[in-house]
Amino acid sequence: MSYLSLDHVTKRFKRETVLDGVSLDVAEGETVAIFGPSGGGKTVLLRLIAGVLDPDEGDIRIDGRSVIGEPPEARKLGMAFQNFALYPHLTAFDNIASPLRALRQSEAEVRQGVERVAELLQIGHVLTHLPKALSNGQKQRTSLARSLVRGPRLLLLDDPLRNVDAKLRYEMRIELPRLLKQMDATVLYVTQDYKEAMALGDRIAVLDDSSFIQIDTPAAIYREPASTKVARLLGDPTINLRRVRPAASTHGVSVDLFGQSLPLHVKPAGAADLVVGIRPEHIKISLTATEQGLPVELDAVTPLNVRSVLLLRTKDGGELLASCSEAEAARLPRGHGKVWLDLSPDDLLLFDAETGERLSGATP
Partner 1 sequence: MSALTLDHVTKVYKVRREPEVRAVDAVDMTVEDGEIVGLLGSSGCGKTSTLRMIAGFEDVTSGEIRAGERRLNELLPAARNIAMAFEGYALYPPLKIRDNIAFGLLRDRRPRAEVDTKVQEIAALLEIEDILERYPPTLSGGQQQRTSLARALARNADVHLLDEPMSQLEPQLRAILRARIKDFLIEHKLTTIFVTHDQTEALALADRIAVMNDGRLQQYGTGDDLKDRPANLYVASFIGEPPMNIFDTLARRGEAVHRLAVRTKDGDTEIALDLPRDRITDAVGGDLQNGRKLALGIRPHQVRLGSFPDLGPVLKGKITSNQWLGDQTHIGIESAGRLVIAVFDGNVAAPIDSQVEITLPLAKLHLFDGDSDRALHHGLTTEGTAA
Chain residues binding partner 1 by CB under 8 A are 165-167, 170, 173-175, 177-178, 195, 198-199, 218-219, 222, 232-238, 279-281, 299-307, 309-311, 319, 321, 323, 325-327, 330, 334-336
Distance of closest approach, residue 238 Cβ to partner 1, in angstroms? 5
Buried b (16+ CB within 10 A) or exposed e, 219-234: eebbeebbbbbbbebb
Please identify, using beta-carbon distances, which residue of 108 and 166 lies nearer to partner 1: 166
Please identify, using beta-carbon distances, which residue of 7 and 281 lies nearer to partner 1: 281
DSSP bridge partners of 16: 13
What is the Cα–Cα distance from 126 to 198, expressed in whole angstroms?
31
Please identify, using beta-carbon distances, which residue of 276 and 310 lies nearer to partner 1: 310
What is the Cα–Cα distance from 143 to 363, expressed in whole angstroms?
46
Q: Which of 77, 39, 33 is nearest to 191 (CA)?
A: 33
Distance of closest approach, residue 254 Cβ to partner 1, in angstroms? 28
Distance of closest approach, residue 137 Cβ to partner 1, in angstroms? 12
Q: Which of 280, 278, 275 is nearest to 321 (CA)?
A: 280
Distance of closest approach, residue 4 Cβ to partner 1, in angstroms? 24
Please identify, using beta-carbon distances, which residue of 66 and 344 lies nearer to partner 1: 344
Q: Edge-to-edge strand order for the sheet containing 186-191?
A: 77-80, 154-158, 186-191, 31-35, 203-208, 211-216
Distance of closest approach, residue 177 Cβ to partner 1, in angstroms? 6
Contacts of 164 (CB under 8 A, 6+ apart): 136, 137, 140, 172
Please identify, using beta-carbon distances, which residue of 14 and 167 lies nearer to partner 1: 167
Distance of closest approach, residue 363 Cβ to partner 1, in angstroms? 18
Contacts of 312 (CB under 8 A, 6+ apart): 283, 296, 297, 298, 299, 319, 320, 321, 322, 339, 341
Please identify, using beta-carbon distances, which residue of 107 and 236 lies nearer to partner 1: 236
